[in-house]
Amino acid sequence: MTISHLLYLHGFRSSPQSFKARRLADWLAAHRPDITWWCPQLPPSPAQAWALIRQGTADWPADRTVVIGSSLGGFYATAFAEATGCRAMLLNPAVDPARDLAKYIGEQTQFHRPEERFEFLPEYVDELRALTVPAVSLPTRYGAIICKGDEVLDWREMTGRYPGATVKLLDGSDHSITDFDDHLPFLLRFLELCD
């Protein structure tokens, strides 16, 4: 089945300006302009983010859609893949953001525009809990790039969350996968975006 739609979900405090999102958008523009690309700015509220994602993709054909999620976006991408049955590529995905983000309650700054501030509210932790998928139903639908050098998330927890998935486990790198270009072919092949 030919992929026609790609959803990219960024991480906590990130934006569509993340270098991975921009790199993918540029690649698609150059090589697959036929694909509908959407990388929304996700609101801080997980419930609102989920509503935006679901509304924005409501008329997308599930069998021709793929999702890529980075960090917190990987958590959302997992929920999206489970809800739609589409294939997902996860980039250092957050496994338990309800636990991990509880310490960020309060005022936060946007990573790419530090002058933009937002409140991460206590109820957002409950909203994350409500979106948590107990376990992935079909591991072969999932690919992941996971870095042992991730300074934010534990690679063992990430790999443990996706048993049976197609995982590229990197010995080094970091949370933002600064060597992302080196791993782009793996991502593109898994999502069947190139030969």
**pLDDT top residue among 106 and 43:** 43
**CA–CA separation, 119 and 71 (whole Å):** 19
The pLDDT, as a whole number, for residue 195 is 67
pLDDT of amino acid 1: 58
| Cβ atoms within 10 Å, residue 142 | 25
pLDDT tens string 75-109: 999 999 999 999 999 999 999 999 999 998 888 87
pLDDT tens digit sequence for 139-156: 999 999 988 877 887 889
State mean pLDDT over 23-47: 95
**Higher-scoring residue by pLDDT: 172, 82:** 82
92: alpha, beta or left, given left = phi > 0 and alpha = psi -120 to 50?
Answer: left
Q: Does position 127 have pLDDT exceeding 90, yes or no?
A: yes
Determine contact, residues 128/46, Cβ cutoff 8 Å: yes
Report the pLDDT value the prediction gives residue 24, as an integer from 0 to 100: 95
CB 27 within 8 A of CB 40: no
Distances (CA, A) of 3 to 15, 83, 114: 24, 18, 35
- The strand pairing partners of 118, in sequence order, are 108
5-190 to CATH, choices 3.30.110.40, 3.40.50.1820, 3.40.50.1970, 3.60.20.10: 3.40.50.1820
Q: Quick one: tokens of 143?
A: 């690919």
